[in-house]
Structure 1
Amino acid sequence: MTRYSTYAPEFAIEIGGARIPAALRGAITRISYTDGIQGADRVEITVANDDLRWLDHPLMQVDQRFTLSLGYAPDPLEKVFVGEITGVSASFPGGGMPTLTVVAHDFLQRLTTGTKDRGFQIDIPTIGQFPIPDPAVVSFVAATNLLIPDVDPVGAALSFLTMLLAYATTPPGEAQRGVRVQRSQSDFDFLSGIAKDNGWEVYIDHTADPQGFVLRFQFPLSDLTPSVSLTWGGSLADFTPRLTTVGQVAGVQTKIWIASIKTELTVVLGWDFDRAAFDLQVFPGFLSAEDVLGEEKSRGVLKVDALGAATMPKTLLSELVPRLNNRLTGSGSTVGNLAIKAGRVIDLKGLGEQFSGLYRITSATHSIDGGGFRTSFDVRKEVWFGSIPTPRGVAGLARVNGQRIG
């Protein structure tokens, strides 16, 4: 990047497959692009509508293909968004310039329309129904929406492993309990449920070809390398961390019945911050959590229901991991930086021992207006990024395996 590029933010917009005319480009007063790992990415542009010249213009209509590229001149721009216009609104103030606001979403929003009822199983005569693996299910649903599925290898392997471990101890007659059934759900809600069970993030990967059509299913452990590093007092303009124990648990507990040995088992899954590893405890169902874990720790255990051994691993993981990963979150901003993308890792420095370190970017907003090119972002510190210190005096839920965190 040249020394001049930092001072010359630039953008390019295509609507309907062609560059917008210079007059329309000159009328744009603000551009905001938000990408995230929760829902469809979104672009919003504000147009000065002098003499109402852009009102009812053919380019300002819904369902038009919309492409946005951002960067700094004179360097090549990066195509950051491919989608379609989903909304247009107008403002006619009593004094001042009338404006148009155009909103576009990526193709993930197509999955939110309509509902379906269907099951995903393999029927084996004389034996019964067996579930289709989750990576195959999400690939099928994505393909039916004309999207290209991309399940990262780590996430797919762990999904297969948990399924095999579950069915190794599940009687054939109970295997159908793990069959994925879509009941009056949109494809988006159905895929979001599967993603939650497997610990995946679902989003359109605009960096992959063909841009705008690759639906990414990412397991966080597959990407732990920071894509950008920011230092407070320098490249990091501001940062607001939020550490909370609200909603946190010491572990997640469920009970399962093992028919082969006619025994009920209690399974508790927790996280050992000292060893940075999951802590799994299994004991006979006639014992209470208080008997095994102690009264103090058992108060921080969340009890959930699993349909059986087939669904137990994913039930425990889907309840525990999101709670752990949302214990320390934050938001910040910097000068426009396209390396900051949702799903990637960022390294924040100069924030002290407690708040410095690696974070997962959960959303990023890039905006160009009269104030220049800025990037704001939201992040979370995931448990595999290292121990999250706990303020002094916090007890109860802040203990794992009987030891205070921090």
Structure 2
Amino acid sequence: MLSNSSVPDFAVLVNGAPLAPAAVGDIRAIQVDESIDTPSMFTIELYCWDPATLTVTWPDDPAFAIGNQVTIQLGYVGALAAVMTGEITGLEPSFAEDEPPTLTVRGYDHRHRLARGRKTRGFTAIKDSAIASTVAIEAGLRAQVTDSETVHQLVLQSNQSDLELLRQRADLIGYEFFVRDRVLHFHPPADEAPPSVVLDVTDDLSSFTPRLSSIGQAGSAVVRGWDPGTKQPITARLRATGGGADSDRAFGLSTDAVLVNAPVATAADADWVARGLRADLGDGYVRGEAELAGRPDLRAGTTVRITGAGKTFSGVYYLTAVRHDLGLDQGFRTSFDVRRSGV
């Protein structure tokens, strides 16, 4: 629930404990950029100068040591909500003439751990969801996965980071993969989930810019491969819904998006990859951006219903990225990116 108060507020926890009041008093801006597709990031900008002692303050403070876990809560006086938990990965002090020194503390969600180092190894007789669980355990994370059903005889991780591997496997079968609150999620997008909130373009949004494009849409997703056991070709074909079907109908065509270089060796493999290809095509049909007064309850990976934008552009949208900005100058603002596969 949102507070009746219109006064923006925040809280910062470091390793589970509230940040010291002196540091809180020096914070001038907080930004949280949460994304489904890339590691989510936070920045905290502080003044870092003690005029009484004429010394730099926060860059050497243990609270901002690399690796510390930070939870950021945003909202309004009397109503705060956690919008991100991550780890400090960088410090950037700034010293400029005639301006007090500042420190920018940067950090990412725990997905950044999966981007560290490259590996070459093979997974045998395993599902993609089991690979995700294995990678999560290795990174010290919990796993929340949806069974991907198909067992692959061999999956190679060839000089790739774990982040690259899971992104590749998720894209291949139409899953999404992200880390939130030390939990690795690997499952189909929840773009058909009930909307968490209703937003009207006149009453709630300060801007909304949707775009519909039929370019790149196709009526069918087709995957071709070769079964080494039977020595027979494999073909999986799935009819598109939403944008692909609308585009073929509008132009009187019957079009295919064909993938021939996917690592498929069975009909089940091909079917899963065809699902992923169809989902990827549909995701590009309607996209948009919006901005409004700060809403900490908006999270990437959830849906919202937008009203008042006409028949074509009103409806349920999936949030792919959410950005929260809270500062001394601009107050508290939220912006987000959305997509939908049909109208």
TM-score bracket for this pair, using the shorter chain length: 0.7 to 0.9
**Which one-letter code corresponds to 2:122 in the other structure?**
G
1:257–1:193 CA distance, 2 compared to 1 (3 A): closer
Q: CA deviation at 1:222?
A: 7.5
Of 176, 180, 191, 2:166 maps to 191
Structure 1 residue 360 corresponds to structure 2 residue 318: yes
Structure 1 residue 305 corresponds to structure 2 residue 261: yes
Rg comparison, structure with higher value: 1
Q: CA deviation at 1:312?
A: 1.4
Counterpart CA distance in 2 for 1:89 and 1:22 is: 21
Asked if 1 retains the 8 angstrom alpha-carbon contact of 2:236 and 2:271, the reply is no
2:113 corresponds to: 110
Look up the SS of the partner of 1:337 in the other structure.
coil
Counterpart CA distance in 2 for 1:351 and 1:85 is: 40
1:319 corresponds to: 277
- Compare the two structures and name the one with the higher strand fraction: 2
Asked if 2 retains the 8 angstrom alpha-carbon contact of 1:39 and 1:109, the reply is no
Structure 1 residue 86 corresponds to structure 2 residue 89: yes
Counterpart CA distance in 2 for 1:331 and 1:2 is: 22
2:140 corresponds to: 146
Structure 1 residue 244 corresponds to structure 2 residue 186: no
**Which one-letter code corresponds to 1:68 in the other structure?**
I
Q: CA deviation at 1:256?
A: 4.0
Worse-superposed segment, 34-43 or 309-318: 309-318
Of 327, 335, 338, 1:376 maps to 335
Q: Note the alpha carbon deviations across 1:4-34, whole angstroms, 9 max, x for none.
A: 42x1221111224432221211111111112
Asked if 2 retains the 8 angstrom alpha-carbon contact of 1:252 and 1:304, the reply is no
**Which one-letter code corresponds to 2:290 in the other structure?**
G
Counterpart CA distance in 2 for 1:23 and 1:145 is: 34
1:56–1:245 CA distance, 2 compared to 1 (3 A): same
2:291 corresponds to: 333
1:289 corresponds to: none
2:25 corresponds to: 26
Structure 1 residue 229 corresponds to structure 2 residue 198: yes
TM-score by length of 1: 0.74
Asked if 2 retains the 8 angstrom alpha-carbon contact of 1:249 and 1:302, the reply is no
Counterpart CA distance in 1 for 2:76 and 2:31 is: 16
1:169 corresponds to: none
Counterpart CA distance in 2 for 1:260 and 1:72 is: 62
Q: CA deviation at 1:231?
A: 0.1
Q: Note the alpha carbon deviations across 1:371-392, whole angstroms, 9 max, x for none.
A: 22111100101x3xxx43xxxx
TM-score by length of 2: 0.86
> In angstroms, what is the RMSD of aligned CA positions?
2.8
1:44 corresponds to: 43
**Which one-letter code corresponds to 2:185 in the other structure?**
R
Q: Note the alpha carbon deviations across 1:124-179, whole angstroms, 9 max, x for none.
A: xxxxxxx2122222111111111111014xxx2xx21xx28xxxxxxxxxx73xx2
Look up the SS of the partner of 1:135 in the other structure.
helix
**Which one-letter code corresponds to 1:185 in the other structure?**
Q
Counterparts of residues 194-209 of structure 1 (less than 5 Å): 194-205=169-180
**Which one-letter code corresponds to 2:64 in the other structure?**
M
- Percent of residue pairs bearing the same amino acid type: 32
1:326–1:66 CA distance, 2 compared to 1 (3 A): same
Counterpart CA distance in 1 for 2:281 and 2:101 is: 45
Look up the SS of the partner of 1:136 in the other structure.
helix
Asked if 1 retains the 8 angstrom alpha-carbon contact of 2:175 and 2:276, the reply is no
**Which one-letter code corresponds to 1:309 in the other structure?**
T
User: What residue ranges of structure 2 are gaps of 5+ in the alignment?
Assistant: 51-55
Asked if 2 retains the 8 angstrom alpha-carbon contact of 1:346 and 1:360, the reply is yes
Counterpart CA distance in 1 for 2:220 and 2:199 is: 34
Q: CA deviation at 1:189?
A: 1.0
**Which one-letter code corresponds to 1:220 in the other structure?**
P
1:26–1:275 CA distance, 2 compared to 1 (3 A): closer
Counterpart CA distance in 1 for 2:176 and 2:234 is: 31
Q: CA deviation at 1:61?
A: 2.9
Q: Note the alpha carbon deviations across 1:310-358, whole angstroms, 9 max, x for none.
A: 4312332222311211221001011111221010001111111111111
